Every structure is written in structure tokens, then in C-alpha cells.
Structure 1
Amino acid sequence: MKDSRTPTPSVSVVIPVKDTIELLDQQLKALAAQDYRGHFETIISDNGGSTELAHHAATHPLRELLNLRYVNSSAVPGPAFARNRGAEEASGFFLAFCDADDVVYENWITALTSLAQHHDVVGTAVETSTINSAKARAWTPASPPEHQGRSSFLPFAIGASLGCCADVYRDLGGMDSHFIASEDVEFSWRAQLAGYSLGFSEQQLVAYRLRSELRPLVRQAYNLGFGFAKLQGTYREKGCPPVDIKRVVYFWTLLLLGNPLVPSRITKVSRGQWARAVAAHTGEMVGGLKFRTFGWPRTKQSSRDSALSSASSRVQHEPATTSTRHKSGDSTHSMRNAQFLFDERS
């Protein structure tokens, strides 16, 4: 732990990858441009077990500059297992996680390690304006940075821009590979309930890639809806409030009224955005029924007071230029703007 609290700890950047070699090269180029003054290595954790990717990593022109290594993580599907395998092979005192299809800003590692001077688990906001098409942005509207990393229970670090002291990550057993989505949220919640602190910067330091084809978009949205419903149901006994049945009915009513048969000039919703929302809420329904996520909350606060009282003093949500203490009552915004957009892709 001591080395990870120094200004420039040794860092292991872990990238879970599956079938995205062309996009991965954009991320590796961005990592090569980092302004970080300390030593860092880059670990490609291949969840698809591709011989082509293994060869690509072994012969990559940035291999020496990035201290690039390849790890086969195809034994269990999903980004959680891929991150865990990468962490097992990591030599750094600090772990920094990003995604293969995104592009990190040049000060990304510096910002994460700076936050880690005061917190055990850290994360930053992301942006969607620079690398996505107008169609993709219309299908998945962006959430402002001050809304990212928040939920109705506890704050979380986004998997596309997450950092953690290596010994803390291993002490917690890494991410839960039973989650096909929301594994980053689950890890963040579990860390806070175990007594570790979480810091989140509202600086948008990752260009986050959205789905630009309808079928992948719908599949992702369904998994996110199902995964987060599973997470909420799993954590109900730990203080996570149930999903209000009245809210579920309200959103389905809006979706029915805003269906594609109604002109978009009236609904102000694109067909892709509507399809994504339907898929997310369908996943939520299936997961919610399976994991008993739904209920009738007694009050806004009563079901989560015990968990929040123990964790809130260890959480800090930092704007881009100033620091402020996060208040649990600020997390009541709609999950649709933050969670379903900024969860890890499956």
C-alpha cells in the first residue's frame, strides 16, 4: 500500500479485449501519449483467446514503449474475469482499467494516481462527443459528468476509467465474474461496504465509444438492464433500496406512448433511442423478477440508511476544478441517464 500512495507509483494498465484489434490500436496509441512520469506497463487481457491478437501484441510497434504484455483470459467470458486475470499478472502497485474500444486522454493515468493519494478506489467521468457519430449520440444521449458515477444506493467508478490500489483489488477478490454487466458498480459498492474509500473526478478523461449498430446496441442495453437489476436485488439485504414498482409502470407507459408509430418530431426520441430504452427496461423486468428487485420503498432513505451512514464518510465526488463532499441524497436522479449508459459493455 505504501508505494501506491507515492505521487508516481508503478502502474499496470489492464485492458480487457475481445475481437477489437483495430480499435485497440487507437487506445494503445493514446496510452503511448500519456504524460505520466512514473513507470507503467500495459496488459492486454484477451477474453476471446485469439491467436491473432496474441501475435499482434507480440509484434506491436509500441510493445517496448508500453511494456506491453498479453494474457489469455478466455476461460470465463466477460470483462470481470478478463480484468481479474490481468490483475493477477500485473506487477504495478496501482491498477488502472480502461476499455479496448475507447480512447483515454493524455493525463488519464496522472489523474487516477493523483486521486489515489487519498482514496482506495478511484474513477473519472467520460465523454461521448469526440469519437462517436451523430447517429450513435442520438441513440444514446450523454449524461453530464456531475451525474456519472452515482446511483440510488452508493457511488461507483465506471469500468472504462477505474483505478485501484493493487493490494485492495486483490484483498476484495477482484470483480465478480458472475455479473455480465454492472460488475464495476458491484465492485465499487462492495469496496465501500468493506470499509475502503472511493473518489470520483468529474473531469471527463476518456472518450467513450457508443454502439453505432442497432443489434449490438439492443444487446448491450438488455444486458445492462438485467445486470443492474440483478445487482440491486443482490444488494437489497445490504441496504440497496428496491426499484419502485410505480416508477417501472411510469417508464413503460412513456415507452408505449413514445413508440416509433408516433412521429419523432412529437416524441423527440429517435427510433434507436427508443429501441435501446425498451431493451434496457426489458432486461430490468427479467432481472428484477428473477432477483426480486422490485418493491414499494417505505421512504426515500430508510432502506439504505445503515449502509450509507457507514460508507458516505469515505466517498468523495470531485468536480473538475474543486473538491466537495458527496452527499447520499444527491443520488436520486434517473438510472437511465447514468447507469445504462456508463456501465461496462459486454
Structure 2
Amino acid sequence: MKAFLAVARAAAQAGAAQLAQRPGTLAPLGIEDLGAETKTSGSDWVTDFDRRAEDAIRYVLRSYRPHDEIYGEEYGATTVEEPSGYRWSIDPLDGTTNFIRGLPHYCSSVAVEHEGTWIAAAIVAPALGRSWWASADGGAFTSNHGPLDVGLTTTPAQPVRLSGPLLGRSGRLLASGFAYDPQRRGFQFQQLQRLVSAGDFADLRRAGSAALDLCMVADGTLDAFAEYGLQEYDWAAGALIAQEAGVPVRRAAWPQSDTTPDWTLAGDLGLALHELDVESHHPVGRTVLHGSVATDDAAGWIQTFTDSAASAFTIANFHVQCTVAEGAVHVTATGPADGVEALQEKLKAVSW
């Protein structure tokens, strides 16, 4: 695991080194300075720095892991002959609009997964002088390193292990973001109003980078995060960092938000995933299944799927609620309609 984390950190540093060459101070720059052009809308930008940062990240990954697949924001998916089974998800510049406008919340984000399990992640924010990283079962960490200078850090500060937000504090802050599409944005506003009320949040924060939002939940700056419609590379690294900091995390069920959007959640939100809606025109949607399993050890059966004493858990992207009865456990599962087979494979003992 240490080797994968070392590669992730080296790749994120390489991407951030390109971003650190942004000309001038943190002031808005013109299109001609950045080689900028729009993608899906007038607010969705890509710059030469996005491309250069992704090139740098891919160079590091190919050098150390030539048989791994790569999925990146600018160049899409890259397959290889004799694949290793490991796949990297990279966002070379998360927060492009911030980068253009001179706002410091932008970063390079790198994560790797194997057979559906995310195993290492690193995020570097050069204008903030901050790095975050994590490995599966190895904890999450952050350090201040000062502004990057041509890819080389100053003497780094001692890493700090992350443990998530303080529980029970007042003035809780919820982080989120909004889509470029006006129709989806209206849906997001509606759902966030529910979250602010249910989670007793005092205010919202919109930093403009989902990766950094998740890092700031991990380090306790923010209390929770909820966003609908993120792409996988937006949340891949940040979600593992938050998870390894001990924060409850729920990843989107589908990686492609343009066709099958879903919620990415972190922290105590006051609402469970199954209580949040998906858009009415969602091509897959959610389903609710009811079943039961005969057992004389109800608590023992439930605890095979969760480390806590709770009667609810998440498995195969389904929220599973258990009700104990005499000699049985009744199960209600809510999740993606195209994931029923995977759920039933995980819960083979349940009669649906």
C-alpha cells in the first residue's frame, strides 16, 4: 500500500507543480494568458494548465505503473495491454474557475482503486501550500509545505493525522457545489434546503473544488459535504481521505454524472442517502426491496455487515435497514435499480 501512496503523492505533486507556474499573482487572468476555452457551458472551463497538469500526472503514473489503467478529466480513459487490474482516477485541476479568477482553492487530485476498492489518494493545493493524502486502513494526513516552486517543496511541516470534524459543535457548516446546467442546479438547491434544515447547519460553504471540500471535512474545517452530479475523478481522492479520517462517506453509485448522476456524501448530514431524491428523469432511478432472513442471532447477522451496533448499514450502494423480530431479521434495502443483482449476491441469506 505504501508504494501506491508514494506514486499517488508523486503524481499529485507533478500536477500541482504545473499549476504553480500560473503567471502573476493570485489575480484574475485573461483567456490569452491561460489558453482557456469552455467545455459544456460558459462557466465550464479548460485551460492549457489543465492539460499540462494531466500530462505531468500521467507521465509519473506511466513511469511507475505502466500496466495500470488511467481515467482522467481531460483525456478520458486509457487502456493498456496486459492490464494489472489497478486503475487511477485523476483530476489535474479541480477548481478551474477558481484558478482562472485568482481564487486559491484549486488542486491536483489522484487516486487508485483495485477491484472496486480505493486504496490510495493524494491531493495537492499549490496556492494554499497544503497537501492531503491517505491509504486504505492507513489513515489520512495533511501537511503545510509552502508554495510549490517548479515542482520542489520547501521543507515540509510535520504531517498531521486527520480525525474529521468535532462532533456536537454549534455553527455547523455544510459544503456543496452546483451544476452548470440550470435545471439540475434548481434540483440541487431544493435538496440542499432540506439538508440544511435536517442537519441543523448554520450555513453553507461553496469553495469551488469538491476535492478540497472533502479534504476540509476530513481535517475538521467543515462539518459535512453533499453534492449531486459529481464525476468520479471529482470525488475519488477526497472521498478516501475523508473516509480514512473516520468520516462516514458515501460515494456516487455511478461514475458518469452526465448520464447517471448521484449523491456524494460525507459527514453527519441529518438525512440518509435514501431520504435524498434523484432527479425525476433519472435514467436508472432507485428501487426499494423488502426481505427477511431466518436467524436466532439477529445481532450477530447484522454485525457481519457493520462494525457498529446500528441496525442500518450501506452495502453495494444500498441503504439497508434491519428490523429484528423473533427468529428473523426483516430487511428493507433502498438503492440503484441496476444494482439489485449485486446486492442480492452480497446478502445471499435474505429471501426477497
TM bin (shorter chain): under 0.3
Instruction: Give the TM-score normalised by structure 1.
Output: 0.28
Structure number with the higher strand fraction is 2
The higher relative CO (CA closer than 8 Å, separation ≥ 6) is in 1
TM-score, structure 2 normalization: 0.28
